[in-house]
Chain A
Amino acid sequence: MELAPYLILGCIEGLVTAAVLALMAVGLSLVFGVMRVVNVAHGEFFMLGAVLAWFVADQLGGHPAIAFLAALIIAPLLVGTLAMLADMTILKRISYDPERTIVATIGLLYIIQQLTLMTYGSNARPVEPPFNQRIAIPWFEWTDGGLSLYWPWGLGTTSYKLAVIGFAIILLLGIWVLMTRTRIGLIMRATQLDRDVAQAYGINVDRVYAMVFGLGAGLAALAAVLIVPIQQAHYLMGHDPLLLSFIVVIIGGLGSLVGTVIAAVMIGLSDGLISVFFTPTLAKIIATLMVTFVLIFRPSGLMGSK
């Protein structure tokens, strides 16, 4: 048995995880970077995205690709709007005090999670991917005729998974362009750098905060829509991704987008590889301890500037 094809499988699986993780972590990082608050309910926004995707697909029926596309647009928008409302009614009222925000978002976590339990139920439900061709993973072998390709039995990925990776890359580039090349991005970065000065220049900080909070949640929801054809939608699915995105954001450096992406790739790949070769639990333990020690000994992360 060749090791390499399994490595390739592990890498692809890892990159899918990394793609989804990167989107979700960027959302979290944006919120922390600009607003300086930790949103513990971030995982529930993720879960809501998946649940709403199922809901939209279920209601629409018809061709899976159309249902999926609709979900891809509607779910993040709905979740983002909900987040903006939460920001305006709760977070603003407690003046974004770091401790109170953590408490409030923990409360929000339970509210969203339990309301979903009450309406959607405790079952996991699938959403059909828009396309799903099986692609076998090739590898090389020496034959009489020299080097040639062969397809190890049972090792394959799907076209959808590859598409997820591609789509995430495009989206992340888009966010980078948004933050660095547009006016909105400039306003967000200005508010991040110095809230009071930004306000003095006429920037409506409250509105920026609501927008950023909504954008962060929307990204999480989007990541969920992408993963739900692979994973199914379940009311508790926000828990693990929340912890993983915390890990990614901290290792990458709070407030640094590039660092977040790099860390997501690292964590996603290692998670994928360790899961393929060992157990998922061990992978999680290692990742958790990694971030803890980064925070202790290198608090600014890989590239952060806290």
Chain B
Amino acid sequence: MPVTTINGREIHVDDEGFLTEFDEWDEDLAKILAANISVDLTDEHWTAIKLAREDYQAQGETPTIRRMASVGGVDTKKMFQLFPKKPAKKMSYIAGVPKPHGCV
């Protein structure tokens, strides 16, 4: 697994650049990850990011867009506004969790 340097810290990532170590993530890192993909973080982004991390910790799997709406209460339109075009992947990247595994 590659190691990349972000903000002077060594971070473990997969071949695409998604974090592989849940505990290497912190909010400062998230701000840099968001900037890397041109997402300006607002309170609503943080709500989604924290939900994704909590759900990942509880379920061992990153929530899909469907689950973010049905369990997390962040509706699908909002997800597309917050993380344009590829909401699940962009959210996962910033939240430091793997891409969702499920189809829906």
User: Are A and B bound to each other?
Assistant: no
